Each structure stands twice: as structure tokens, then as C-alpha cells.
Copies of this chain bind each other. A is one copy, B any other.
Amino acid sequence: MDTTQRTGQQRSADLRRRELLEAADRVVLRDGPHASMNAIAAEAGITKPILYRHFGDKGGLYAALAVRHTDALLASLRAALDAPAERRQRVESTLDTYLAAIEARPQVYRFLMHPADGAAAPGDQTEQGFDVGKHSAPLLRRMGEELAQVIEERLDVGPGTQQLARVWGHGIVGMMHAAGDWWLGERPCTRAELVSTLADLLWGRLAAAGDKAGGPGF
């Protein structure tokens, strides 16, 4: 086959793939992460085997979907993180960007945080341990690494910066995630209040606070 033809086929295949992803997106956003391959295929106007030809298995499809959304969110976060402003301002802006994203499209959020679930084939277990320590959604890991890199590049904390940056990166992302998840479920305050309170925490207000009268102190 010559180059032109091959390109044509490639293009067509890529377009098809995109259409399928769009359809899958609609279904997942409508039915949640438990959407069946049949449902997705039906939404796309085709049948299961085609999905499998394109994505291998359910994990592959979900991974492809997740990468799209994750890339988009990470781009927004990078923008907030790179803006020219004071550090506190930037931290608040990044937190707010993340929270605004999960608030605007909770379904996407829910989907991204859900681990693939389709990794453990029967009888695949090496030794007796399965996939310990890989619970977190890829999105969290990627955000953690991204933030770690920014911290390492920009912050001066003496020796051991690299290690510290990674710990802090994952830690801060985890803080943001957990607080965001809880907030999204209960809505106990405005987004701005949440952002400010979290930034306060990062700014050491926990250490600075006084003990409450009467107790042995916290």
C-alpha cells in the first residue's frame, strides 16, 4: 500500500475512534462509570466487537476517555499554576480552578477518580500480592507529579528539594482532592471559602493556632 492510501486509512480510523470516544463519553456521562460496552456500542450505532477492535478491552476504552479529560484539566491547572502572581494568589487560583472543574462537571470528575477496575484478569496474580499501592486514579498521580515538578523548579528549600517536592506535590493534591470530594457532596460552604481555608492550612495556620482553653491542647 502506498503512503497516500495508508494515510487515508489512518485518518479514517482515527476519525472513527474519535466518534466512538464521543459516544462513549455521552453514555458514561449519562449512566456513570458502570456503563456497559453494549450500551456504548448502541449509542455509537454499532455493536460490541468494533469497540474491542479499536480499544482492546474496556480498560483501554476507559483509559482513552480518561486521558482526554485528564489532559484538559491538567492544562487548566498548569495555566493557573504558571500565572504571574504572588505565591498565595497562585495557590488559591489553582485550588479554585480544580474545584470549579469538579463542580461544573461532577460526572466527569466521578469518572476520572474511578480506578479502571478492569486490570485483574482471573489467575493473573503474581505471588499473593495484587496491585498494592496503586489505588489512586491516574489523574491524582499525574496531578501530584505535575505539582511536584513545579515545586521543585520554583521553590528553594535547601537540600533534599527533589524528594520533598514530590511528597508535597502528592500531599497537596490529596488534600485538594479529599476536601473537594467532601465539599462536593455536602456543600457546606462556598467555593471561595473552601479555597481560602485550604490555603490557610497550607500557610501554617494549624501550627500557629493556640490551644483551646481547658484541654491538654492539640
Measured CB to CB, the residues of A under 8 A from B are 30-32, 34, 84, 87-88, 90, 106-107, 109-110, 113-115, 117, 120, 125, 128-136, 140-141, 144, 150-151, 153-157, 163-164, 166-168, 170-179, 181-186, 188-189, 193-194, 197-198, 200-213, 215-218
Contacts and interface: CB of A to CB of B under 8 A. Distances in A.
Contacts of A177: 174, 178
Contacts of A106: 129, 132-133
Contacts of A172: 175, 201, 206
A218 B110 contact: no
Count of this chain's copies in the oligomeric assembly? 2
A139 to B, nearest CB: 11
A175 B133 CA distance: 15
A181 B169 CA distance: 13
Nearest to A143: B178
A163 B188 contact: yes
Contacts of A87: 207, 211, 217-218
Contacts of A209: 155-157
